[in-house]
Amino acid sequence: MTTDHKPHMKHGKTTRAPFGEFGRLELSILGTPCGNIKKLSEEIIKNLSAFQIAYVDADHKTEETEGSVFLQSGGSAVLTDKISFRRFEMNRNFNKYQRNILFNEYDLTLVNGNHFKAAKQIVVIDEKKPLDKKLEKITDVLMIVLQEGQREVPGYLKDHISSMNDIPICGIEETGKIVEEIEKFVVNHRPELWGLLLAGGKSQRMKKDKGLLEYHGMPHREYLFNQLNKYTSKTFLSCRKDQQAGMNGQFDLITDSFDELGPFGAILSAFRKHPDKAWLVLAVDLPVLSEATIQQLIESRNSSKIATAFYNQETDFPEPLITIWEPKAYPILLNFLALGYSCPRKALINSNIEMIQPKYPNELVNANHPEEYEKMMKIIADKK
Protein backbone atom coordinates (compact mmCIF):
# COMPACT_ATOMS: atom_id res chain seq x y z
CA MET A 1 0.00 0.00 0.00
CA THR A 2 1.41 3.36 -0.99
CA THR A 3 0.38 6.78 0.14
CA ASP A 4 0.88 9.93 -1.89
CA HIS A 5 2.28 12.77 0.15
CA LYS A 6 2.03 16.37 -0.94
CA PRO A 7 5.17 18.43 -0.31
CA HIS A 8 4.97 20.11 3.06
CA MET A 9 4.90 23.93 2.93
CA LYS A 10 6.78 25.31 5.93
CA HIS A 11 6.22 28.96 5.05
CA GLY A 12 3.41 31.10 3.71
CA LYS A 13 3.36 31.97 0.02
CA THR A 14 4.94 35.34 -0.69
CA THR A 15 7.42 36.99 -3.05
CA ARG A 16 10.74 38.37 -1.87
CA ALA A 17 11.63 41.97 -2.54
CA PRO A 18 14.83 42.34 -4.61
CA PHE A 19 17.29 43.52 -1.96
CA GLY A 20 21.05 43.09 -2.04
CA GLU A 21 23.37 43.11 0.96
CA PHE A 22 22.28 46.65 1.82
CA GLY A 23 19.74 48.27 -0.48
CA ARG A 24 17.42 47.60 -3.39
CA LEU A 25 20.04 48.91 -5.80
CA GLU A 26 23.68 48.82 -4.72
CA LEU A 27 27.16 49.23 -6.15
CA SER A 28 30.44 48.41 -4.49
CA ILE A 29 33.65 50.11 -5.62
CA LEU A 30 36.76 48.01 -5.11
CA GLY A 31 40.31 47.53 -6.33
CA THR A 32 41.91 50.78 -5.17
CA PRO A 33 42.83 52.26 -1.74
CA CYS A 34 39.94 53.46 0.44
CA GLY A 35 40.86 57.11 -0.01
CA ASN A 36 40.31 56.81 -3.76
CA ILE A 37 36.99 55.02 -3.23
CA LYS A 38 35.79 57.81 -0.95
CA LYS A 39 36.87 60.49 -3.41
CA LEU A 40 35.14 58.78 -6.33
CA SER A 41 31.99 58.20 -4.25
CA GLU A 42 31.87 61.87 -3.31
CA GLU A 43 32.03 62.85 -6.99
CA ILE A 44 29.27 60.40 -7.88
CA ILE A 45 26.99 61.65 -5.11
CA LYS A 46 27.67 65.30 -5.94
CA ASN A 47 26.85 64.77 -9.62
CA LEU A 48 23.76 62.64 -9.00
CA SER A 49 22.11 64.84 -6.39
CA ALA A 50 18.66 64.26 -7.95
CA PHE A 51 18.75 60.75 -6.49
CA GLN A 52 18.78 59.66 -2.86
CA ILE A 53 22.17 57.96 -2.47
CA ALA A 54 23.56 56.29 0.64
CA TYR A 55 27.22 55.45 1.32
CA VAL A 56 28.57 52.50 3.31
CA ASP A 57 32.12 52.29 4.65
CA ALA A 58 34.14 50.94 7.57
CA ASP A 59 36.64 52.59 9.87
CA HIS A 60 38.83 50.17 11.78
CA LYS A 61 40.99 52.90 13.32
CA THR A 62 38.29 54.54 15.43
CA GLU A 63 39.51 56.04 18.68
CA GLU A 64 37.61 54.99 21.80
CA THR A 65 36.80 58.63 22.54
CA GLU A 66 34.83 58.87 19.26
CA GLY A 67 32.04 56.71 20.63
CA SER A 68 29.32 58.20 22.79
CA VAL A 69 30.02 58.27 26.53
CA PHE A 70 26.57 56.72 26.95
CA LEU A 71 27.63 53.65 24.98
CA GLN A 72 30.84 53.49 26.97
CA SER A 73 28.75 53.66 30.14
CA GLY A 74 26.73 50.62 29.10
CA GLY A 75 23.97 52.20 27.01
CA SER A 76 22.63 50.29 24.02
CA ALA A 77 21.86 53.09 21.58
CA VAL A 78 22.11 56.88 21.30
CA LEU A 79 20.23 59.23 18.97
CA THR A 80 21.68 62.75 18.67
CA ASP A 81 19.97 65.54 16.75
CA LYS A 82 22.82 67.60 15.26
CA ILE A 83 20.28 70.05 13.73
CA SER A 84 21.66 69.71 10.18
CA PHE A 85 21.80 65.90 10.45
CA ARG A 86 21.01 63.10 12.89
CA ARG A 87 23.48 60.58 14.32
CA PHE A 88 22.43 57.16 15.56
CA GLU A 89 24.99 55.06 17.43
CA MET A 90 24.53 51.54 18.71
CA ASN A 91 26.75 48.85 20.18
CA ARG A 92 25.61 45.88 18.09
CA ASN A 93 25.89 44.91 14.44
CA PHE A 94 23.17 45.15 11.82
CA ASN A 95 22.41 41.87 10.09
CA LYS A 96 21.43 41.79 6.40
CA TYR A 97 17.70 42.01 7.08
CA GLN A 98 18.09 45.02 9.35
CA ARG A 99 20.34 46.68 6.76
CA ASN A 100 17.70 46.11 4.08
CA ILE A 101 15.15 48.02 6.18
CA LEU A 102 17.67 50.76 6.97
CA PHE A 103 18.57 51.32 3.29
CA ASN A 104 15.10 50.62 1.85
CA GLU A 105 14.29 54.19 0.82
CA TYR A 106 17.49 54.99 -1.10
CA ASP A 107 17.69 54.94 -4.89
CA LEU A 108 21.29 53.73 -4.75
CA THR A 109 23.69 52.54 -2.07
CA LEU A 110 27.41 52.98 -2.76
CA VAL A 111 29.59 50.54 -0.85
CA ASN A 112 33.32 50.52 -0.11
CA GLY A 113 34.02 47.14 -1.68
CA ASN A 114 37.35 46.80 0.13
CA HIS A 115 35.30 46.12 3.26
CA PHE A 116 31.89 44.85 2.12
CA LYS A 117 30.21 42.94 -0.67
CA ALA A 118 27.42 44.33 -2.85
CA ALA A 119 25.19 42.86 -5.55
CA LYS A 120 26.88 44.80 -8.37
CA GLN A 121 30.39 46.24 -8.68
CA ILE A 122 32.56 48.95 -10.16
CA VAL A 123 36.03 47.39 -10.50
CA VAL A 124 39.02 49.72 -10.35
CA ILE A 125 42.29 48.46 -11.83
CA ASP A 126 45.07 49.71 -9.56
CA GLU A 127 48.43 48.02 -9.02
CA LYS A 128 48.27 49.14 -5.36
CA LYS A 129 45.24 46.91 -4.73
CA PRO A 130 45.33 43.81 -6.96
CA LEU A 131 42.11 41.80 -6.98
CA ASP A 132 43.41 38.30 -7.70
CA LYS A 133 42.62 37.18 -4.12
CA LYS A 134 39.24 38.96 -3.94
CA LEU A 135 37.53 37.46 -6.95
CA GLU A 136 34.62 36.19 -4.78
CA LYS A 137 33.53 39.83 -4.41
CA ILE A 138 33.32 40.28 -8.18
CA THR A 139 30.03 38.76 -9.28
CA ASP A 140 28.24 41.30 -11.51
CA VAL A 141 30.36 44.13 -12.90
CA LEU A 142 28.76 47.39 -14.08
CA MET A 143 31.98 48.96 -15.35
CA ILE A 144 35.76 48.86 -15.11
CA VAL A 145 37.78 51.95 -14.20
CA LEU A 146 41.50 52.22 -14.94
CA GLN A 147 43.59 54.06 -12.34
CA GLU A 148 46.13 56.53 -13.70
CA GLY A 149 49.04 54.66 -15.31
CA GLN A 150 46.96 51.50 -15.97
CA ARG A 151 46.44 50.52 -19.59
CA GLU A 152 44.70 47.15 -19.56
CA VAL A 153 42.67 44.70 -17.50
CA PRO A 154 44.74 41.87 -15.92
CA GLY A 155 44.35 38.43 -17.46
CA TYR A 156 42.95 36.86 -14.26
CA LEU A 157 40.05 39.36 -14.34
CA LYS A 158 39.38 38.74 -18.03
CA ASP A 159 39.16 35.02 -17.26
CA HIS A 160 36.93 35.60 -14.23
CA ILE A 161 34.40 38.04 -15.78
CA SER A 162 32.34 36.14 -18.34
CA SER A 163 30.70 39.26 -19.85
CA MET A 164 34.01 41.10 -20.24
CA ASN A 165 33.33 42.22 -23.83
CA ASP A 166 30.09 43.97 -22.81
CA ILE A 167 31.48 45.96 -19.89
CA PRO A 168 32.40 49.64 -20.43
CA ILE A 169 35.96 50.67 -19.51
CA CYS A 170 37.16 54.20 -18.79
CA GLY A 171 39.88 56.05 -16.90
CA ILE A 172 39.40 57.21 -13.32
CA GLU A 173 39.81 60.82 -14.45
CA GLU A 174 36.77 60.45 -16.74
CA THR A 175 34.28 61.31 -14.01
CA GLY A 176 31.61 62.32 -16.51
CA LYS A 177 31.58 58.88 -18.14
CA ILE A 178 31.49 57.13 -14.76
CA VAL A 179 28.58 59.27 -13.55
CA GLU A 180 26.73 58.81 -16.85
CA GLU A 181 27.01 55.02 -16.60
CA ILE A 182 25.76 54.99 -13.00
CA GLU A 183 22.90 57.35 -13.80
CA LYS A 184 21.84 55.06 -16.64
CA PHE A 185 22.02 52.12 -14.24
CA VAL A 186 19.72 53.84 -11.72
CA VAL A 187 17.25 55.11 -14.34
CA ASN A 188 17.03 51.69 -16.01
CA HIS A 189 16.07 50.18 -12.67
CA ARG A 190 13.20 52.59 -12.06
CA PRO A 191 10.32 50.32 -10.97
CA GLU A 192 7.79 49.46 -13.65
CA LEU A 193 4.39 51.09 -13.11
CA TRP A 194 1.39 48.78 -12.74
CA GLY A 195 -2.22 49.71 -12.06
CA LEU A 196 -4.46 48.67 -9.17
CA LEU A 197 -8.18 49.50 -9.15
CA LEU A 198 -9.63 49.15 -5.66
CA ALA A 199 -13.05 47.50 -6.00
CA GLY A 200 -13.17 45.41 -2.82
CA GLY A 201 -15.28 47.70 -0.65
CA LYS A 202 -18.66 46.49 0.65
CA SER A 203 -20.45 49.70 -0.46
CA GLN A 204 -22.54 49.72 2.71
CA ARG A 205 -23.34 53.45 2.48
CA MET A 206 -24.24 53.30 -1.24
CA LYS A 207 -26.33 50.14 -0.62
CA LYS A 208 -25.18 48.68 -3.96
CA ASP A 209 -21.78 47.75 -5.38
CA LYS A 210 -20.10 51.03 -6.37
CA GLY A 211 -18.09 49.21 -9.02
CA LEU A 212 -21.30 48.29 -10.85
CA LEU A 213 -22.77 51.80 -10.90
CA GLU A 214 -22.86 53.30 -14.39
CA TYR A 215 -21.70 56.88 -14.85
CA HIS A 216 -20.41 56.58 -18.42
CA GLY A 217 -22.57 53.88 -20.01
CA MET A 218 -20.78 50.89 -18.46
CA PRO A 219 -20.00 49.54 -14.94
CA HIS A 220 -17.63 52.04 -13.38
CA ARG A 221 -15.06 49.41 -12.44
CA GLU A 222 -14.81 48.55 -16.14
CA TYR A 223 -14.59 52.23 -17.14
CA LEU A 224 -11.81 53.06 -14.66
CA PHE A 225 -9.97 49.79 -15.35
CA ASN A 226 -9.83 50.70 -19.04
CA GLN A 227 -8.57 54.20 -18.23
CA LEU A 228 -5.90 52.88 -15.90
CA ASN A 229 -4.83 50.22 -18.36
CA LYS A 230 -3.91 52.86 -20.95
CA TYR A 231 -1.16 54.27 -18.73
CA THR A 232 0.30 51.27 -16.92
CA SER A 233 2.21 48.19 -18.11
CA LYS A 234 -0.31 45.87 -16.47
CA THR A 235 -3.52 46.52 -14.54
CA PHE A 236 -5.27 44.51 -11.84
CA LEU A 237 -8.60 44.80 -10.11
CA SER A 238 -8.40 44.43 -6.34
CA CYS A 239 -11.28 42.56 -4.71
CA ARG A 240 -12.32 40.42 -1.77
CA LYS A 241 -12.14 36.64 -2.06
CA ASP A 242 -15.94 36.35 -2.10
CA GLN A 243 -16.13 38.67 -5.13
CA GLN A 244 -13.98 36.53 -7.42
CA ALA A 245 -16.80 34.38 -8.79
CA GLY A 246 -18.74 37.44 -9.94
CA MET A 247 -15.90 38.79 -12.07
CA ASN A 248 -16.36 36.14 -14.81
CA GLY A 249 -12.69 36.25 -15.80
CA GLN A 250 -13.13 39.83 -17.01
CA PHE A 251 -10.14 41.25 -15.11
CA ASP A 252 -6.73 40.24 -13.85
CA LEU A 253 -7.39 40.04 -10.11
CA ILE A 254 -5.47 40.53 -6.90
CA THR A 255 -7.60 39.26 -4.04
CA ASP A 256 -7.12 40.55 -0.53
CA SER A 257 -4.62 38.52 1.48
CA PHE A 258 -4.74 41.05 4.33
CA ASP A 259 -8.36 40.69 5.41
CA GLU A 260 -10.53 43.40 6.96
CA LEU A 261 -8.01 46.18 6.33
CA GLY A 262 -9.83 47.97 3.51
CA PRO A 263 -7.70 49.88 0.96
CA PHE A 264 -4.61 49.51 3.19
CA GLY A 265 -4.89 45.73 2.95
CA ALA A 266 -5.53 45.87 -0.80
CA ILE A 267 -2.32 47.85 -1.39
CA LEU A 268 -0.34 45.46 0.81
CA SER A 269 -1.84 42.48 -1.04
CA ALA A 270 -0.59 43.89 -4.36
CA PHE A 271 2.90 44.45 -2.96
CA ARG A 272 2.89 40.97 -1.44
CA LYS A 273 2.49 39.42 -4.91
CA HIS A 274 4.70 41.89 -6.79
CA PRO A 275 7.01 43.75 -4.37
CA ASP A 276 9.26 45.12 -7.13
CA LYS A 277 6.50 47.04 -8.94
CA ALA A 278 5.22 50.56 -8.41
CA TRP A 279 1.43 50.70 -8.11
CA LEU A 280 -0.83 53.44 -9.44
CA VAL A 281 -3.79 52.97 -7.12
CA LEU A 282 -7.30 54.23 -7.92
CA ALA A 283 -10.47 53.89 -5.86
CA VAL A 284 -13.50 52.67 -7.80
CA ASP A 285 -15.76 55.46 -6.45
CA LEU A 286 -14.32 58.34 -8.51
CA PRO A 287 -17.13 59.27 -10.93
CA VAL A 288 -15.54 62.23 -12.75
CA LEU A 289 -11.87 61.26 -12.77
CA SER A 290 -10.39 61.98 -16.21
CA GLU A 291 -7.39 60.75 -18.09
CA ALA A 292 -5.87 64.22 -17.72
CA THR A 293 -5.62 63.75 -13.95
CA ILE A 294 -4.11 60.28 -14.35
CA GLN A 295 -1.59 61.73 -16.80
CA GLN A 296 -0.70 64.56 -14.39
CA LEU A 297 0.00 62.06 -11.63
CA ILE A 298 2.24 59.92 -13.86
CA GLU A 299 4.12 62.92 -15.26
CA SER A 300 4.73 64.18 -11.69
CA ARG A 301 5.95 60.79 -10.44
CA ASN A 302 9.03 60.99 -8.22
CA SER A 303 10.33 57.46 -7.75
CA SER A 304 12.92 58.72 -5.24
CA LYS A 305 10.05 59.22 -2.77
CA ILE A 306 7.88 56.45 -1.34
CA ALA A 307 4.82 57.81 -3.12
CA THR A 308 3.48 60.55 -5.40
CA ALA A 309 0.09 61.84 -4.27
CA PHE A 310 -2.33 64.68 -4.93
CA TYR A 311 -3.02 67.29 -2.28
CA ASN A 312 -6.73 67.12 -1.41
CA GLN A 313 -7.93 70.60 -0.51
CA GLU A 314 -11.10 69.26 1.13
CA THR A 315 -9.19 67.18 3.68
CA ASP A 316 -5.98 69.30 3.71
CA PHE A 317 -4.06 66.01 3.40
CA PRO A 318 -2.55 63.88 0.63
CA GLU A 319 -5.09 61.72 -1.19
CA PRO A 320 -4.03 58.07 -0.74
CA LEU A 321 -6.39 56.44 -3.24
CA ILE A 322 -5.26 58.31 -6.35
CA THR A 323 -1.58 57.70 -5.68
CA ILE A 324 1.53 56.08 -7.09
CA TRP A 325 3.06 53.87 -4.38
CA GLU A 326 6.71 52.94 -5.00
CA PRO A 327 8.11 49.52 -3.95
CA LYS A 328 9.99 51.20 -1.08
CA ALA A 329 6.55 51.96 0.43
CA TYR A 330 5.90 48.27 1.10
CA PRO A 331 8.12 47.84 4.21
CA ILE A 332 6.93 51.22 5.47
CA LEU A 333 3.27 50.21 5.20
CA LEU A 334 4.03 46.93 6.97
CA ASN A 335 5.78 48.87 9.72
CA PHE A 336 2.72 51.09 10.20
CA LEU A 337 0.59 47.95 10.41
CA ALA A 338 2.93 46.49 13.03
CA LEU A 339 2.49 49.68 15.06
CA GLY A 340 -1.28 49.30 14.90
CA TYR A 341 -2.15 51.68 12.04
CA SER A 342 -4.00 50.69 8.88
CA CYS A 343 -4.64 54.10 7.34
CA PRO A 344 -2.81 54.76 4.03
CA ARG A 345 -3.26 58.51 4.51
CA LYS A 346 -1.42 58.38 7.83
CA ALA A 347 1.44 56.57 6.11
CA LEU A 348 1.63 59.30 3.47
CA ILE A 349 1.47 62.15 6.00
CA ASN A 350 4.34 60.68 7.99
CA SER A 351 6.61 59.62 5.13
CA ASN A 352 8.84 61.13 2.45
CA ILE A 353 6.40 61.71 -0.43
CA GLU A 354 5.97 63.90 -3.49
CA MET A 355 2.72 65.86 -3.06
CA ILE A 356 1.32 67.73 -6.05
CA GLN A 357 -1.48 70.22 -6.62
CA PRO A 358 -4.19 68.76 -8.90
CA LYS A 359 -5.05 70.76 -12.00
CA TYR A 360 -8.64 69.58 -11.63
CA PRO A 361 -9.30 69.23 -7.87
CA ASN A 362 -13.01 68.48 -8.35
CA GLU A 363 -12.05 65.17 -9.96
CA LEU A 364 -10.80 63.86 -6.61
CA VAL A 365 -14.38 63.80 -5.29
CA ASN A 366 -15.84 60.37 -4.60
CA ALA A 367 -19.43 59.17 -4.28
CA ASN A 368 -20.35 57.06 -1.26
CA HIS A 369 -24.12 57.70 -0.84
CA PRO A 370 -27.10 57.46 -3.22
CA GLU A 371 -27.55 61.24 -3.01
CA GLU A 372 -23.94 61.74 -4.11
CA TYR A 373 -24.47 59.33 -6.98
CA GLU A 374 -27.42 61.39 -8.23
CA LYS A 375 -25.38 64.59 -7.86
CA MET A 376 -22.49 63.14 -9.88
CA MET A 377 -24.86 61.92 -12.59
CA LYS A 378 -26.23 65.44 -12.95
CA ILE A 379 -22.72 66.92 -13.17
CA ILE A 380 -21.76 64.42 -15.87
CA ALA A 381 -24.98 65.06 -17.81
CA ASP A 382 -24.46 68.83 -17.69
CA LYS A 383 -20.99 68.43 -19.23
CA LYS A 384 -22.33 66.63 -22.28
User: Quick one: pLDDT at residue 225?
Assistant: 95
CATH, residue 322: 3.90.550.10
As a whole number of angstroms, the distance between CA 35 and CA 266 comes to 48
- Within 8 A by CB and 6+ apart from 6, the residues are none
Same domain, 331 and 202: yes
Task: Choose one of 188, 211, 237: the last residue of a domain.
Answer: 188
Same domain, 240 and 181: no
User: Quick one: pLDDT at residue 372?
Assistant: 83
One DSSP character per residue, 256-308 reads -SSTT-HHHHHHHHHHHH-TTSEEEEEES--TT--HHHHHHHHHT--TTSSEE
User: Quick one: pLDDT at residue 250?
Assistant: 85
Whether the Cβ atoms of residue 119 and residue 21 lie closer than 8 Å to each other: yes
Residue 93 belongs to a domain:
yes
Same domain, 208 and 80: no
CATH, residue 44: 3.40.50.300
Task: Choose one of 161, 188, 215: the last residue of a domain.
Answer: 188
Distances (CA, A) of 308 to 73, 318, 324, 348: 44, 9, 5, 9
User: Quick one: pLDDT at residue 144?
Assistant: 97
Q: How many domains does the chain have?
A: 2
Same domain, 270 and 231: yes
As a whole number of angstroms, the distance between CA 384 and CA 382 comes to 6
Residue 128 belongs to a domain:
yes
Residue 141 belongs to a domain:
yes
Q: What angle do CA 25, 29, 32 make, to 5 degrees?
A: 180
Residue 19 belongs to a domain:
no
Read off the pLDDT of residues 97-156 as tens digits, 9 standing for 90 and up.
999 999 999 999 999 999 999 999 999 999 999 999 999 999 999 999 999 999 899 999
Task: Choose one of 188, 216, 247: the last residue of a domain.
Answer: 188
One DSSP character per residue, 4-38 reads --PPP--S---------SSSSSEEEEESS-HHHHH
- φ, ψ for residue 166 (rounded to 5)? -100, 0
Same domain, 202 and 160: no
Same domain, 84 and 136: yes
As a whole number of angstroms, the distance between CA 213 and CA 203 comes to 11
Please count the other Cβ atoms lying within 10 Å of the Cβ belonging to residue 222.
Answer: 18
pLDDT tens for the chain, 384 residues long, are 455 555 555 667 789 999 999 999 999 999 999 999 999 999 999 999 999 999 999 987 666 567 788 988 899 999 999 999 999 999 889 999 999 999 999 999 999 999 999 999 999 999 999 999 999 999 999 999 999 999 899 999 999 998 999 999 999 999 999 999 999 999 999 999 999 999 977 777 876 778 888 888 999 999 999 999 999 999 999 998 888 887 777 889 999 999 899 999 999 999 999 999 999 999 999 999 999 999 999 999 999 999 999 999 989 999 999 999 999 999 999 999 999 999 999 999 999 999 999 999 999 988 888 888 788 888 888 776
Same domain, 203 and 319: yes
**Domain encompassing residue 310:** 193-383
Same domain, 246 and 330: yes
Residue 8 belongs to a domain:
no
Same domain, 184 and 294: no
Same domain, 356 and 207: yes
What predicted TM-score, i.e. pTM, was given to this entire model? 0.93
- Can you tell me whether residue 186 is helix, strand or coil? helix
Residue 20 belongs to a domain:
no
